[in-house]
């Protein structure tokens, strides 16, 4: 019962951390009306009469705030990934990395509403606060996400899929929350401010929750057994003792094999002392001379490990590799990339094609007569945000959550060799209808086009993210130490696809459509 409870708690923690990971980032993207007029909110404490508020001195910045916010967060996210894969950062404690990322995410979402709370802030100062907050949020989110992927890369694959699922659920709930707030609150000064405060407050609370969970995970013997950075001094001593016993047993078995070679007799296989889950199913039978104790295979093709000492034991083949790595002081990122580069390329292609289409080109494919019109209100309020784009984005996020959730069921996994083919087919299936929807004259002139295609785009995107993350982090060629680095490498690939896809989408929307 205790083991079952721990498994449930680990899955719950994984989903919650996946949900929390990007919420601070989404808080900025979910408050466009607030950020567009942020200099006015920072200038006065409370005023529902928009006509008396100060006018913008730099309207080009505030009128394109959504684009600026995206770029200001995306650039440091991209650059931070290079730092997260540097040897110095990889040598740092993964728990510390996660806490630092969550702390600065908390500071970034706290900075914006607190600065504007008392009023009296100039437009230049408001702009500086917003730029600093976006840069800080992008860098902190990248550090947190990369560290979490590195953490879950070291755990069994089923927890990686739970973490990925939490990320999909976060997007769907954010979209629903944005629609509810937009409908429930009036588009007045106080209403828009209240909606933004709700998002930023939730973001702050979730970052506090993230830090609490990261600290509480240290109490789990299961986590300590798989993640060396979480081990206590007594765990390290126990693992060192276990590894010493294993090394001695390996030496003894090699001598027996050598003696058997000299006399031509078979060797009776014995389980390696202290190695749980590493033994032959026919322990009591006589094995051939060349037989070596095999590693039992568990979920998703991983070595079956259990118990608090499980990660202290490695297979005979990987023991020498691990020892060599420790002598060098670190595992080369290049070595890991060479083993999982196919999954990284598939992940980049999945995110690139997604961000090229979402949301810019897809929203351009909406029915002409139903395209949202920009309104500036009646002089005392701001016009409410268009509902149709939010519904289309909601469908994408719901599809993304469904796709990620499906990966938790191993029966729907496509074979590893099929993944590149699925990426290509998915791109063709999703691009053609949306491309036709923006042609002039329109070939597909219906709001059903972007709704259906964004749902399909979301499902396939979430499915491929989960699949590539699972296959990449559990590649059988990876050593236990390399699996954590593989998680960070996959996060790097994910962000490359997002960054370049967003840039191409921005160019297409602004220059060609």
**CA pair distance 297, 294, nearest whole angstrom:** 9
Task: Provide the b/e sequence for 236-262 (b: ≥16 CB within 10 Å).
Answer: eebbeebbebbeebbeebeeeeeeeee
**CA pair distance 334, 116, nearest whole angstrom:** 46
C-alpha torsion 503→137→229→487, nearest 10: -20
Other CB atoms within a 10 A radius of the CB of residue 86 amount to 11
**CA pair distance 113, 104, nearest whole angstrom:** 15
Q: What is the pLDDT of residue 505?
A: 79
| Contact in structure between 123 and 56 (CB atoms under 8 Å) | yes
Place of tokens 């600093």: 132
User: Degrees (nearest 5) of the Cα angle 117, 121, 123?
Assistant: 125
Q: What is the pLDDT of residue 252?
A: 61
227 — alpha (psi -120 to 50), left (phi > 0) or beta?
A: beta
Q: What is the pLDDT of residue 456?
A: 86
Query: What Å distances lie between residue 320 and 59, 243, 325, 340, CA to CA?
Result: 63, 12, 9, 21
DSSP string, 337-366: HHHHHHHHHHHHHHHHHHHHIIIIIHHHTS
Spatial CA neighbour of 500 closest among 323, 354, 397:
354
Q: What is the CATH number of domain 1-44+58-236?
A: 1.20.1250
Q: What is the pLDDT of residues 339-395, one digit of tens each?
A: 999 999 999 999 998 888 877 676 666 654 444 444 444 445 666 666 777 888 888
Tell me the pLDDT band of 306, cut-offs 50, 70 and 90. very low
DSSP-based helix, strand, coil % in the chain, nearest 5: 75, 0, 25
Query: What Å distances lie between residue 168 and 14, 226, 461, 462, CA to CA?
Result: 12, 25, 10, 7
Tell me the pLDDT band of 36, cut-offs 50, 70 and 90. confident
Q: What is the pLDDT of residues 437-485, one digit of tens each?
A: 665 555 566 667 777 878 888 899 999 999 999 999 888 888 888 888 8
Q: What is the pLDDT of residues 230-271, one digit of tens each?
A: 877 655 555 555 555 555 655 665 666 555 555 554 544 444
Q: What is the pLDDT of residue 132?
A: 95
Rg of the Cα trace of the chain? 26
| Contact in structure between 170 and 14 (CB atoms under 8 Å) | no
| Contact in structure between 149 and 85 (CB atoms under 8 Å) | no
| Contact in structure between 166 and 21 (CB atoms under 8 Å) | yes
**CA pair distance 21, 487, nearest whole angstrom:** 15
**CA pair distance 207, 498, nearest whole angstrom:** 23
Q: What is the pTM of this model?
A: 0.76
| Contact in structure between 229 and 95 (CB atoms under 8 Å) | yes
Q: Where are the domains of the chain?
A: 1-44+58-236, 332-372+382-512
């Amino acid at each position: 019962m205790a083991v079952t409870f721990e498994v449930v708690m680990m899955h719950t923690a994984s989903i919650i951390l996946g949900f929390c990971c990007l919420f601070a980032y989404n808080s900025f993207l979910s408050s466009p009306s607030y950020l567009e007029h942020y200099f006015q909110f920072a200038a006065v404490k409370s005023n529902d009469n928009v006509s008396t508020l100060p006018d913008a001195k730099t309207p080009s910045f505030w009128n394109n705030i959504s684009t600026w916010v995206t770029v200001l967060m995306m650039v440091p996210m991209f650059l931070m990934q290079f730092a997260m894969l540097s040897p110095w950062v990889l040598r740092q404690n993964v728990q510390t990395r996660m806490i630092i990322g969550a702390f600065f995410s908390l500071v970034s979402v706290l900075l914006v509403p607190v600065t504007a709370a008392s009023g009296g802030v100039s437009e230049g100062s408001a702009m500086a606060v917003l730029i600093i907050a976006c840069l800080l949020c992008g860098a902190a989110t990248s550090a947190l996400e990369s560290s979490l992927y590195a953490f879950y890369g070291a755990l069994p694959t089923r927890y990686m899929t739970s973490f990925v699922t939490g990320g999909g659920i976060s997007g769907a709930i954010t979209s629903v929350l944005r629609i509810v707030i937009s409908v429930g609150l009036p588009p007045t000064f106080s209403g828009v401010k209240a909606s933004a405060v709700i998002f930023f407050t939730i973001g702050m609370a979730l970052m506090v929750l993230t830090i609490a969970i990261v600290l509480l995970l240290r109490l789990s013997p299961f986590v300590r057994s798989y993640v060396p950075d979480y081990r206590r001094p007594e765990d390290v001593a126990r693992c060192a003792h276990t590894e010493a016993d294993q090394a001695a047993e390996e030496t003894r078995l090699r001598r027996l094999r050598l003696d058997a070679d000299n006399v031509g007799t078979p060797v009776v296989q014995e389980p390696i002392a202290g190695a749980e889950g590493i033994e032959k199913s026919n322990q009591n039978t006589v094995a051939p001379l060349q037989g070596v104790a095999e590693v039992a295979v568990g979920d998703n093709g991983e070595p079956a490990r259990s118990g608090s000492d499980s990660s202290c034991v490695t297979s005979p083949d990987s023991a020498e590799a691990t020892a060599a790595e420790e002598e060098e002081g670190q595992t080369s990122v290049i070595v890991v990339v060479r083993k999982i580069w196919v999954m990284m390329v598939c992940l980049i292609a999945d995110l690139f094609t997604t961000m090229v289409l979402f949301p810019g080109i897809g929203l351009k494919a909406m029915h002409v007569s139903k395209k949202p019109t920009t309104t500036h209100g009646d002089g005392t309020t701001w016009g409410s945000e268009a509902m149709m784009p939010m519904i289309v984005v909601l469908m994408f996020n719901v599809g993304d959550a469904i796709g990620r959730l499906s990966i938790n069921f191993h029966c729907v996994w496509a074979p590893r060799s099929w993944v590149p083919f699925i990426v290509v087919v998915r791109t063709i299936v999703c691009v053609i209808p949306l491309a036709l929807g923006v042609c002039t004259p329109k070939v597909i002139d219906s709001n059903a086009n972007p709704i259906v295609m964004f749902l399909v785009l979301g499902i396939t995107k979430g499915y491929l993210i989960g699949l590539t993350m699972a296959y990449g982090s559990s590649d059988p060629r990876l050593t236990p130490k390399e699996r954590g680095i593989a998680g960070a490498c996959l996060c790097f690939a994910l962000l490359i696809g997002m960054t370049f896809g967003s840039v191409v989408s921005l160019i297409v929307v602004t220059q060609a459509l």
